[in-house]
Amino acid sequence: MSTATTRPPEGRYGRSTDERADRKLKIAATVLGAVVLVVLGWFGYHYVVGNKISAEIITFKTYDDSVRVHLEVRKDSGTNGYCTVRSQAENGAEVGRADFRFDGAATRIDRVVTLRTTSQGTTAELLGCHSD
């Protein structure tokens, strides 16, 4: 009686190399996805919690050489900081940019500021606020 070596049918016992590669790709994608979520969460947390001063433009009015901007600023009590506002001409060129300071104990400030421009601006855009 001779015994011949026979191979089991393909895929019957254990995983094939393609299945192993697929599993490694799934693990790598899961790890990468988790890292991306952690990084986005970290940036989001620091943007919301770490940003102690924020503002929004309520209204603005343009003149030949300036833009009057009504800002509503919200900040932590005692936090000092500034907000940057810019204006652009109709063709998109920047015609004015300035930082406006907001100091003191007040937590909500309504202020009308004047942004000087090199020519008539058509916009008023809040670029952001930063605490000191």
pLDDT, tens digit (0-9, with 9 covering 90-100), for 13-30: 666 667 777 888 899 999
If you average pLDDT over residues 108-129, what whole number do you get?
94
Predicted local confidence at residue 70, as pLDDT? 96
CA atoms in the 13 A half-sphere facing the CB of 33: 6
The DSSP annotation for 53-101 comes to EEEEEEEEEE-SSEEEEEEEEEE-TT--EEEEEEEE-TTS-EEEEEEEE
118: Cα separation from own chain's centroid:
30
Predicted local confidence at residue 67, as pLDDT? 96
- The pTM score is 0.62
If you average pLDDT over residues 87-102, what whole number do you get?
95
If you average pLDDT over residues 55-62, what whole number do you get?
95
Residues 6+ apart with CB under 8 A from 130: 53, 81, 82, 83, 84
